[in-house]
Amino acid sequence: MSRSATGMTCIAIGPAAYRAVVASLPPEAKLYAPERNRCGDYLIHVERVWLDLLAAQRRPDECYSDVILRHAPETSAFRGDQND
């Protein structure tokens, strides 16, 4: 996790969590070309307030991806049934 001068924090989330986030955005949302790390996770930039909300909802041994998927609709598209 890294912090930028703009107040945004970069976190890594898994492919299924990334698809869930993108699917939740309004059609007019501006998307940048996704960056991935060596593990295949997506790097996203979030405001501190949203990171704090994710962190507050994490259960023991959970990552941010787990929290996102717990709140995503129960569809196979979000659960990783597609090729990453």
Cβ atoms of 41 and 84 within 8 Å: the answer is: no
Q: Is 16 among the domain residues?
A: yes
Edge to edge, what strands does the sheet with 42-47 contain?
A: 2-3, 8-13, 42-47, 35-36
- Would 80 be classed as within a structural domain? no
The residue ranking higher by pLDDT, 82 or 37, is: 37
Phi, psi of 51 (to 5 degrees): -65, -40
Q: How confident is the model at residue 81 (pLDDT cuts 50, 70, 90)?
A: very low
What is the number of domains present in the chain? 1
What is the span of the domain harbouring residue 6?
2-71
Domain assignment present for 77: no
- Structure confidence at residue 49 as a pLDDT band (50, 70, 90): very high
Handedness of CA 80, 23, 13, 60 (dihedral sign): negative
Question: Which residues on neighbouring strands pair with residue 13, listed in sequence order?
Answer: 42
* Residue 76 confidence (pLDDT): 45
74 vs 43, higher pLDDT = 43
Q: CA 42, CA 60: separation in Å to the nearest integer?
A: 22
Total-model pTM: 0.76
